[in-house]
C-alpha cells in the first residue's frame, strides 16, 4: 500500500507543485536561482494530498511512541494536521503543533502552539528541505520549549545538503521523496519511452 500511496503522491506533486524550466528562473528563499521549484502547499492543502501525506508519514512514525507532530508554520501546518488526523483514525492519539517564526508578543508569548507539553516526544515535519535552516529553527524552538525531538520528516528533500545539516541536530532525518525522484518522474511523463 505504501508504494502505491507514494507513487500517487509523486504524481500529485508533479501535477500541482512542481515547476520546471530549462533556465534557472526560480529564486529560492536562500537567494539562489534554480531551474525547478516545488511549492508543496498546493499539494498539502489538497484533500487527496492530505490523505496521502498523512498516511505515509503516520506509517513512518506509528511505532515511535510520540505525543505530537509539528513544524514551522506555515509549510508544516497542513502536514502535521494530516498526520494527526490519520493517527486518530488508526486509533492513536498524536497531537499536532505549530512553531511560530518568532514568539508572540502578547498573551502567552509562546512560540509553540498546540496540545504539547514539556517532555513530549515529537516529530518535526517540513514540506521541503533545501538548506535545512527553517527545519533547524523549528527543532531549536521545540527543544527550547522542552520537547524531545526524535525524528524529522520532510515531504521533499531537494538534496542540497539540508538533510545533513539537520542531522547535526536530530540524527533521524527522512524524506518521503527526493528531488531525484521528482525529476525522474517529471522526465518520464514529459518524455515517455516509445
Phi, psi of 64 (to 5 degrees): -85, -5
Please say if the pLDDT value at position 191 is more than 70: no
Please say if the pLDDT value at position 81 is more than 50: yes
Name the residue with higher pLDDT: 24 or 104: 24
Instruction: Give pLDDT, residue 1.
Output: 45
Mean pLDDT in residue range 27-49: 90
CATH class of the domain at 43-178: alpha beta
Break the chain into its structural domains and give their ranges: 43-178
Instruction: Give pLDDT, residue 105.
Output: 66
Phi, psi of 83 (to 5 degrees): -65, -45
Q: How many CA atoms lie within 13 A of 49 on its CB side?
A: 21
Q: 115-143 as b/e, with b when 16 or more CB fall inside 10 Å? A: ebeeebebbbbbbbbbbbebbbbbbebbe
Mean pLDDT in residue range 47-59: 97
Going by pLDDT thresholds of 50, 70 and 90, the confidence category of residue 108 is: low
Amino acid at each position: 500500500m505504501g508504494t502505491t500511496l507514494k507513487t500517487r503522491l509523486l504524481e500529485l506533486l508533479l501535477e500541482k507543485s512542481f515547476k520546471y524550466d530549462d533556465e534557472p528562473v526560480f529564486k529560492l528563499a536562500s537567494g539562489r536561482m534554480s531551474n525547478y521549484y516545488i511549492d508543496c502547499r498546493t499539494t498539502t492543502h489538497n484533500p487527496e494530498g492530505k490523505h496521502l501525506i498523512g498516511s505515509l508519514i503516520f506509517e513512518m512514525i506509528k511505532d515511535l511512541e510520540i505525543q505530537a507532530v509539528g513544524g514551522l508554520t506555515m509549510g508544516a501546518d497542513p502536514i502535521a494536521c494530516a498526520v494527526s488526523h490519520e493517527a486518530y483514525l488508526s486509533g492513536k492519539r498524536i497531537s499536532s503543533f505549530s512553531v511560530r517564526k518568532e514568539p508572540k508578543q502578547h498573551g502567552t508569548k509562546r512560540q509553540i502552539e498546540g496540545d504539547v507539553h514539556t517532555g513530549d516526544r515529537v516529530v518535526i515535519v517540513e514540506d521541503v528541505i533545501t538548506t535545512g535552516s527553517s527545519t533547524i529553527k523549528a527543532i531549536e524552538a521545540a527543544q527550547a520549549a522542552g520537547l524531545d525531538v526524535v525524528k524529522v520528516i520532510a515531504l521533499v528533500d531537494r538534496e542540497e545538503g539540508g538533510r545533513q545539516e539537520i542531522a547535526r541536530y536530530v540524527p533521524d532525518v527522512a524524506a518521503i521523496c527526493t528531488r531525484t525522484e521528482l525529476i525522474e518522474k517529471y522526465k518520464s511523463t514529459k518524455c515517455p519511452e516509445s
